Amino acid sequence: MPHIVHALPQSDWESFQKHGEYRPSSLDTQGFVHCSKPGQIVVVADYKHADSDKMVLLLLNEPSLDSPVRYETSGDGASAYPHVYGPLTLDAVVESFSFVQDETGFRLPDKLLRY
């Protein structure tokens, strides 16, 4: 089963669960939701969320997403990241994890090491 992940603040996860849909600001400003493959997320989170507290990591079942997913290369052309061109829905969430960081950065939850 193909999986992708999305990191978001705990407060956004709580709102997502309440409303059943998640529309981060990037959906309005860039037209998509930024996601990653599990092996990419730590680097992305260390760069984008280093100053964030109480982050949650969502494991998403890519085929269950209601919106199209496109893999697009980063600015340096080195990596392709999944972008979801529409809101995330709870149907696609396989599991959620506390996404914690220590003095060296974020740590992928042990359970995700198999993906």
Joined together, the tokens standing for residue 11 give: 């407060």
pLDDT at 1: 56
Please state the pTM of the whole predicted model: 0.89
Locate the domains of the chain by residue range.
3-114
Mean of pLDDT values over 32-60: 88
pLDDT at position 92 over 90: yes
Asked if 62 and 5 count as a contact pair (C-beta separation under 8 A), the reply is: no
CATH superfamily of 3-114: Protein of unknown function DUF952 (3.20.170.20)
pLDDT at 96: 96
Q: Per residue in 70-90, pLDDT tens? A: 999 977 777 899 999 999 999
Asked if 35 and 82 count as a contact pair (C-beta separation under 8 A), the reply is: yes
CA–CA distance, 95 with 27 (Å, rounded to integer):
22
Asked if 7 and 56 count as a contact pair (C-beta separation under 8 A), the reply is: yes
CA–CA distance, 16 with 49 (Å, rounded to integer):
19
pLDDT at position 5 over 90: yes
